[in-house]
Structure 1
Amino acid sequence: MLADPLSPEQSRSDSAVFRPDAPPVEWAVAEGYVDYEPAVAAMEARVAAIAAGEAPELIWLLEHPPLYTAGVSSKDDDLLDAGRFPVHRTGRGGQFTYHGPGQRVAYVMLDLNRRGRDVRALVRGLEDWIIGALGEFGVEAGVRDARVGVWVERKGAGWSREDKIAAIGVKVRRWVTFHGISLNVEPDLDHFGGIVPCGISEHGVTSLVDLGVTATMDEADAALKASFQRVFGPVAPGRSPV
């Protein structure tokens, strides 16, 4: 079944990762497109600094140029068109996914030493964060057993299907998280055709614009920020690592 979006009150009381008394999480937005390898290098440097107590937690919002990434569970057969876009092998969880213009990537660098060393609670928090952000636009979304990410149900006269609107793939090092989520705002959905997204071939992908929601990236960012604060706690302006 679809999971109901959390209200602000439910998020604060029920989220295992909500920490109102912790220092605010830095919130940074990169300008332009950020290449993948420099982004990973910047994340790894920030994770090390957070683990050493030398930097605050960070949510880093960006867009990548068109590319595919392969998580630790990826299968070579799920790369359908290897020559279409650059392919990056990465240490995050999950399988193949696409990143590109019109998709908001949020790299999540949170200290689970402060928020509880519970990766399942973290993933549930990430799901609730996305679901709450989509709720800001009136989009009902939820999670599915045995399927990673956030999904919407679409119906018409005599038909229905489920499409994925957001992906989740994280890694934890010294109990600090990195990689994160991607939300489809207005990407070219044809670009997903070069892979089997997350190893799931029987369902499709969608975006806010594909659902008829004409949201800008700034509006998507505002919804993500509002929902993040309900689920994880306060934020403060930060600087993009790249």
Structure 2
Amino acid sequence: MTAPSATHPLDWIVTDGRTPYAGALEAMEAHVAAIRAGTAAERVWLVEHDPTYTAGTSARPEDLRDSRFPVFAAGRGGQWTYHGPGQRTGYVMLDLNHAHGSVPPRDIRAYVHGLEEWLIRALDRFNIRAERREGRVGLWVANRAAGTEDKIAAIGVRVTRWVTWHGIALNVDPDLSHFGGIVPCGIAEHGVTSLHAQGVPATMDEADAALQGAWTEVFG
């Protein structure tokens, strides 16, 4: 299903079913080249993958504990990430030569902060308080009574000649045991969680609506 939104000055695309990870990489690379050439619009592409482990440029071999699923070199920043059913992966392709809402031109740090803010605002629609942590990539949900916190969303980006690709992964209702094959983002001392694990039985369509609704609040 392709669902461009009239309220966004970019293509907003949702692909039903499972998108092969290798195919997603090829499609992103081609679209990023077209954006640089001025022949394509910026794009947010929401997909769902079959169970897959992906290695960022900082991934350590020893953090792949069990290669039970296909493994791909992603080419993005960061370490190991899991993608799979029940997780919404958002690939964001923007030209950072231009400002986007609160994100000024050619400011990668501000762009990553914007992705975090986008997720924070989307999750707030479900009354989930997601938080940043200094020195840790992604968004976290704290259980202050138990003194624990778990990761609910991952972020990994790549920027080619100021055009972004890769993006975010939001745990809606994945099989959380699948994360056990890796050390997610190199952080072994904390776990992972999801909307459903937090007691929010959201559908993927509802998660998509929250992401789209929060987008303009951050990126304009």
TM above 0.5, one fold?
Answer: yes
Q: Distance in 2 between matches of 1:131 and 1:180?
A: 14
2:204 aligned with 1:217, yes or no? yes
Select which of 152, 159, 162 maps to 2:141.
152
Give per-residue Cα distances to partners, 1:204-231, cap 9 Å, x unaligned: 0000000000100000000000111110
Query: Aligned with 2:17: secondary structure?
Result: strand
Select which of 121, 125, 140 maps to 2:129.
140
- What does residue range 3-14 of structure 1 map to in structure 2 within 5 Å? none
Supply the AA of the counterpart residue of 2:78: G
Select which of 43, 52, 55 maps to 2:40.
55
Query: Aligned with 1:94: secondary structure?
Result: coil
Residue 90 of structure 1, CA deviation: 1.6
Select which of 46, 57, 73 maps to 2:58.
73
Q: Distance in 2 between matches of 1:154 and 1:81?
A: 28
Supply the AA of the counterpart residue of 1:132: R
Residue 155 of structure 1, CA deviation: 3.6
Residue 25 of structure 1, CA deviation: 1.5
Query: Aligned with 2:208: secondary structure?
Result: helix
% identity of equivalent residues: 62
Q: Distance in 1 between matches of 2:130 and 2:52?
A: 26
Select which of 69, 72, 89 maps to 1:85.
69
Q: Which residue in the other structure is 2:5 paired with?
A: none
Residue 77 of structure 1, CA deviation: 0.5
Q: Distance in 1 between matches of 2:10 and 2:133?
A: 29
Q: Which residue in the other structure is 2:87 paired with?
A: 103
Q: How many residues align?
A: 208
Supply the AA of the counterpart residue of 1:62: V
Q: Which residue in the other structure is 1:188 paired with?
A: 175
Higher relative contact order (CA 8 A, sep 6+): 1
Q: Which residue in the other structure is 2:186 paired with?
A: 199
2:110 aligned with 1:126, yes or no? no
- Give unpaired runs (5+ residues) of structure 2: 1-7, 100-104
Q: Distance in 2 between matches of 1:28 and 1:214?
A: 23
TM normalised by structure 2 equals 0.93
Supply the AA of the counterpart residue of 2:52: L
Q: Which residue in the other structure is 2:17 paired with?
A: 32
Query: Aligned with 1:130: secondary structure?
Result: helix
Q: Distance in 2 between matches of 1:207 and 1:29?
A: 20
Large movers: runs of 4+ above 3 Å: none
Residue 114 of structure 1, CA deviation: 1.0
Q: Which residue in the other structure is 1:8 paired with?
A: none
Q: Distance in 1 between matches of 2:134 and 2:182?
A: 22
Q: Distance in 2 between matches of 1:188 and 1:44?
A: 29
